[in-house]
């Protein structure tokens, strides 16, 4: 699939005998077509340093994995269905036309309920954060415990992968932001080298679990019962993590939006249900994971900016990358 095909599918495609008349949205690794009641997620045929969706077989595989993993905590995930094309006609579902891709079929949620949109409008309430904290803590409590050892080299590679965006950041945001990347990599290397025992201890204590892996406000709908979606399926190491890494992402995200008080409320409410930050070393680990999560978001937005032709969208991604890099600087200077 490509952008032109996605547009054709969204406008003229058929699902269960009815036209989609959908609106396509895009990330750096997928498209989502939003119809009146359903959402259809299709993976881009891309191969990056951290994922490989380059073949039809791989995209089908990861669609099926994504469905299974997300059904652990969300009822909106329904099925994986083929995307078919015949002459000028597009279909989602079974049939005789040629399979050109696969779509994850989901119930559509109200866009106005998505947490990041509510944060922009200043409409996220304290009680919603407390309810979300309980939802996350309950999921973490029963998530599968992972006993595999901490891989320092892999963690170092994950953090330092942002270096690949350094030249683009320098050209579009300036030397000072490339300097933040360099300093953050040095800071991370030092933290990883001096805290091997802490990482190993937390695994022994059962804090490494099979979680969501991408828990930020764009992946949460704030209904009375929060709806969490879109966990990481393409890399087990990104999802099978310390619970502190998971909650650090959401806390960092709230801080990036300018709501440190909501970050504190979430952390306190979560800890009431599932205590996992006990010692000063645990608190330092939280800061490290906040920095790592800001690092990944900065990289994602830099990649998206580089892939975007439309100027206004590109500027939005560059502004986000700038914001996350600025936040990284505050973490490493603590």
Looking at the structure of the chain, the number of domains it has is 2
Domain that holds residue 143: 115-332
Q: 108, 141, 169 — which closes off a domain?
A: 108
Q: 108, 130, 156 — which closes off a domain?
A: 108
Q: State the angle between helix axes of 311-332 and 243-256 in degrees (0 to 180), rounded to the nearest 10.
A: 120
Q: 108, 126, 144 — which closes off a domain?
A: 108
pLDDT average per 10 residues of sequence, the chain (334 residues): 89 92 89 95 92 96 97 95 94 93 97 96 98 97 96 92 93 96 97 96 97 96 96 93 97 97 98 96 97 93 86 92 97 90
The CATH code of the domain that includes 237 is: 3.90.1200.10
Helix, strand, or coil (residue 229) = coil
- Residue whose entry in the numeric block shows the structure tokens 């803590």: 137
Residues 121 and 101 in one domain: no
**3-class SS string, 39-88:** EEEEECCCEECCEECCCHHHHHHHHHHHHHHHCCCCCCEEEEEEEEEECC
pLDDT of residue 256: 96
Residues 130 and 198 in one domain: yes
Residues 212 and 259 in one domain: yes
Please check whether residue 238 is in contact with residue 254, taking contact to mean a CB–CB distance below 8 angstroms.
no
Residues 300 and 284 in one domain: yes
Alpha helix (H) residue ranges in the chain: 3-12, 56-70, 115-120, 126-142, 152-160, 166-173, 175-194, 196-204, 236-239, 243-256, 260-273, 280-307, 311-332
Residues 13 and 97 in one domain: yes
Where residue 2 falls (left for φ over 0; alpha for ψ -120 to 50; beta otherwise) is: beta
Residues 98 and 160 in one domain: no
Tell me the backbone φ, ψ of residue 274, rounded to 5 degrees.
-145, 85
Provide the whole-model pTM. 0.88
Paired sense of beta strands 208-210 and 227-228, if any: unpaired
pLDDT of residue 167: 93
b/e sequence 267-306, b meaning 16+ C-beta within 10 Å: bebbeeebebbeeeebeebbbbbbbbbbbbbbbbbbbbbe
Residues 168 and 299 in one domain: yes
Residues 93 and 122 in one domain: no
Residues 82 and 168 in one domain: no
The whole-angstrom separation of Cα 325 and Cα 166 is 11
pLDDT of residue 27: 84
Residues 34 and 166 in one domain: no
Classify the C-alpha dihedral 263-268-270-274 as positive or negative.
positive
The whole-angstrom separation of Cα 79 and Cα 96 is 19
Residues 88 and 212 in one domain: no
Residues 127 and 100 in one domain: no
pLDDT of residue 2: 86
């Amino acid at each position: 699939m490509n952008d032109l095909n996605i547009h054709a599918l969204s406008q003229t495609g058929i699902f269960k005998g009815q036209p989609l008349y959908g609106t396509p949205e895009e990330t750096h690794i997928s498209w989502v077509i939003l119809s009146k009641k359903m959402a259809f997620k299709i993976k881009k045929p891309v191969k990056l340093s951290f994922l490989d969706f380059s073949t039809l077989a791989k995209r089908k595989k990861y669609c099926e994995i994504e469905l299974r993993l997300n059904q652990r905590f969300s009822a909106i995930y329904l099925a994986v269905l083929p995307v078919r094309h015949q002459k000028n006609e597009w279909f989602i579902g079974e049939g005789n036309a040629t399979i050109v891709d696969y779509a994850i079929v989901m119930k559509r949620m109200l866009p106005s309920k998505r947490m990041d949109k509510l944060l922009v409008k200043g409409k996220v309430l304290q009680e919603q954060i407390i309810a979300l904290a309980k939802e996350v803590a309950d999921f973490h409590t029963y998530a599968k415990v992972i006993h595999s050892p901490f891989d320092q080299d892999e963690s170092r590679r994950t953090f330092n992968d942002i270096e690949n965006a350094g030249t683009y950041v320098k050209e579009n945001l300036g030397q000072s932001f490339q300097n933040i990347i360099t300093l953050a990599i040095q800071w991370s290397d030092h933290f990883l080298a001096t805290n091997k025992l802490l990482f190993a201890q937390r695994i022994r204590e059962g804090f490494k679990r099979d979680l969501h892996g991408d828990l930020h406000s764009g992946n949460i709908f704030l209904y009375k019962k929060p709806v969490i979606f879109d966990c990481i399926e393409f890399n087990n190491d990104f999802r099978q993590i310390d619970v502190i890494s998971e909650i650090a992402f959401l806390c960092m995200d709230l801080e990036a939006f300018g709501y440190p008080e909501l970050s504190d409320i979430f952390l306190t409410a979560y800890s009431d249900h599932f205590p996992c930050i006990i010692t000063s070393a645990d608190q330092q680990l939280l800061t490290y994971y906040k920095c790592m999560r800001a690092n990944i978001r900065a990289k994602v937005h830099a990649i998206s900016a580089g892939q975007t032709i439309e100027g206004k969208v590109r500027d939005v991604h560059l502004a986000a990358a700038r914001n996350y890099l600025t936040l990284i600087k505050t973490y490493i200077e603590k």
